[in-house]
A and B are shown apart, each in its own frame.
Chain A
């Protein structure tokens, strides 16, 4: 009798579990945060009037940055996003009725941005940062809708995803959101300025800075408790910590940070890697007061204090160590011609290395990557242009690069941990091995 009741108990438990799993897969626990008004379509006049506001918000979100290929038609999608499980491709978000989102209603669009669910109950993958756009206010989603529906429609089919995304796995996103999609609200603090509130709304929402700059948990969900403390590597580059304390240590204040975002250039270095696409396509095109607000929010610490720039670190004693002198001489031979004998750089030509973020970061990966791979020619706001930095993978040995990076970090970065030749070897481009 006893074993019977145990068996029945297990059976009931398993049945309940299966029912629960099916319920999750069917999306029974996905809440709907779309406001009821969104069911009502907007009039032509309303849509028309909302376009400028929507354009600014689309810039803040850099929607077109991910949804357009370089040199490709705006918003037509197809940008590959590599994940450990396969490659996702951004989709066509132009108003083309067949290939784009032309048939989306106002409500459909709200559902996508608030809840990450496309028409037909299609769960979006979190490459679309809906965990951030979730906090966007309904009137702003209306403006975005008006703007997106106003861009030229492009009849370009979406590119198929690869790997595990070929399988019917969208339903499993319902599990993912259970743990990784908290119901967030825009940052709020007693006595906060309008500027801080606006900045927080953009940084934590549409701007989705944390998508790259916040570490992810084991399930690849955004670890909001460690907001902006530096994310996982992207294209081989370490994503820096951008908390107020760290930015201040790197010599930023709100004005300097705003200048960096508006131009892509700063005393801390020029934007490169994927951040270049952010400054180039998004923040340099935004309204200055919105960028100022973002900078103010980012430079404000947890206690509400607006931090100012700290002075850079002094050269460490180890920089004068005879062991690191080959590094100094390598710098003089290979780098000083552009970056200056004292790491001061040349305005409009080469960024300063004294106080440069890549030199100051605890992780030497970005510094070594730039030395080995170089940076292509980039244009910046205000007709600025930085000519390409050559990669030195075929001109300096891994030992030379290691001692060079070690000396620069000790001289200007306040980092005493030497860079090893083994670490450099791992970063050498494959074509040079």
Chain B
């Protein structure tokens, strides 16, 4: 018995991938790890609950959204544009990191993570959140509760939530146009 395969094409971190034959039913995270050697996306619970495996899905004319890669098949992403943790920081031609994103920098400055397993997911969530604030700024008094809502689905096993949330608050306050008042 042979595996049922279908061609898959998508854009990952600005690079066009495919068409490449990928088995039907292969989780996206396996495709990232095994086909593309993009191992920064973390496999956590495998049931769509911990959100360690989220990547950013870019949408034409709309703010990006988070999408889990453990419960969705690689083909769910056919034709889509996504950004994995490897695509967040700015790199030079040789692939060396030149500059971290404000969210990544803030996580380091706030000592937000310990083991770091959940961090790629938190970077994704926080980036999606900041991008959404740029479109729909939030009154200052509501910022903290909005951060909690936005990051609530992400589980950190070292329970470093407070420092993650403080870092995101910091970025939101420093980024022009995110907070009203």
Give A residues with C-beta under 8 Å from B.
329, 332-334, 336-338, 341, 346, 349-350, 387, 394-395
Contacts and interface: CB of A to CB of B under 8 A. Distances in A.
13 contacts: A329-B75, A332-B75, A333-B24, A333-B72, A333-B76, A334-B76, A337-B48, A337-B70, A338-B47, A338-B71, A341-B25, A350-B47, A387-B48
Nearest to B47: A349
Contacts of B27: 337
A334 B72 CA distance: 5
Contact of A329 (B24, B48, B72): B24
Interface residues of B, number: 16
B75 A394 contact: no
Given A329-B6, A329-B24, A336 B73 contact: yes
Nearest to B67: A395
Given A332-B24, A332-B73, A333-B73, 13 more contacts: A333-B24, A334-B73, A337-B48, A337-B70, A337-B72, A338-B48, A341-B25, A346-B47, A349-B49, A387-B48, A387-B49, A394-B65, A395-B67
Interface of B: 6, 24-25, 27, 47-49, 65, 67, 70-73, 75-76, 78
Contacts of B70: 337
A286 to B, nearest CB: 30
A350 B65 CA distance: 23
A350 B76 CA distance: 19
Contacts of A341: 25
A350 B27 CA distance: 17
A394 B49 CA distance: 20
A346 B49 CA distance: 13
Nearest to B24: A332
Q: For A333, A338, A341, A387, which residue has the most chain B Cβ atoms within 10 angstroms?
A: A333
Nearest to B78: A333
Contacts of B72: 333-334, 337
Contacts of B6: 329
Nearest to B62: A394
Nearest to A394: B65
Contacts of A350: 47
A329 B73 CA distance: 10
Contacts of B78: 333
Contact of B75 (A333, A346, A349, A387): A333
